[in-house]
Structure 1
Amino acid sequence: MVAFQDLDPLDLHKLLQESVDDLVLVDVRTPAEVARGTIPGAQPIPLHLLPVSAGSLDKAHPVVFYCQSGARSLQACMYLQQQGHDKLYNLRGGIMAWARNGLPIAPADKQAP
């Protein structure tokens, strides 16, 4: 049973504009990749640190993972599904698809705390 689903970049953008307060956006790329820019409002948790950081993600809140192309964020979804999370989303195509759709990318120093 799949407890997560893919999100299209335009659908994610719409959700973020609607200010879905409990939506958590997580960037699982490396710090070097994050330094090139992020989706506004994302919190960075590199994929290799997810096992030690997973406890900070509330199971009651939907979590959207993204990476460069969608492969690592898919792994993040599968891992958290095994940990009992059921409101998980993978940004299909990652930040590359986000950028191809002309959606905003914030400098790394402008991301939410």
Structure 2
Amino acid sequence: MDITKGFSPTRQYTSITPREVHELMATGCDCTLLDVRTPDEYEQYHIAGSVSLPDYELIAGNIPLKKTSPVVVYCQSGARSYTACLRLLRLGFCKVYDMGAITRWPYGFE
């Protein structure tokens, strides 16, 4: 899967399955796996290699990521990842993927 293709100038995010994310990670993709849950939720368990950046940090605009790099977003149920994707697009990120709920991830946690 080439995650650099398929983006329109209207800046829409793309849904991505856990399997696709797992395959990307296995190939050494230069993308950021972004966990937008709270720090406490992240501490309990998270996907290996993910970065914790709570959704309220996104609202404040505190995003230490390159806007041109692919970002895959997940949360607990899918609601926060959806709004985080929209926020990232409004802030100028152009390659945004929504994996939705971490509960869909069958590959184990840290």
- Paired with 1:17 and 1:30, the residues of 2 have a C-alpha distance of 26
Extract unaligned runs of 5+ from structure 2: 1-9
TM-score normalised according to structure 2 size: 0.84
Q: How many residues align?
A: 100
TM-score normalised by the chain length of structure 1: 0.82
Equivalent in 10, 14, 32 of residue 5 of structure 1? 14
| Cα distance in 2, alignment partners of residues 53 and 89 from structure 1 | 19
Amino acid at match of 2:49: G
**1:48 corresponds to 2:53:** no
* Structure 1 runs not aligned, ≥5 long: 107-113
SS in 2 for 1:53: coil
**Distance in 2, Cα, partners of 1:64 & 1:53:** 17
User: How high is the sequence identity, in percent, across the aligned residues?
Assistant: 36
DSSP 3-state at the match of 1:78: helix
Partner in structure 2 of residue 82 of structure 1: 90
Q: Identify which of 68, 91, 94 aligns with 1:60.
A: 68
**How far off its partner does 1:61 sit?**
0.4
Contact 1:28–1:44 (Cα < 8 Å) also in 2: yes
**Which one-letter code corresponds to 2:32 in the other structure?**
V
RMSD of aligned Cα (Å): 1.2
Residue 2 of structure 1 deviates from its aligned partner by: 5.0
Can you list the C-alpha shifts for 1:78-109, whole angstroms capped at 9, x where unaligned? 001111111000113x11011xxx31211xxx
Partner residue of 2:79 out of 71, 86, 89: 71
Distance 1:83 1:4 in 2: 13
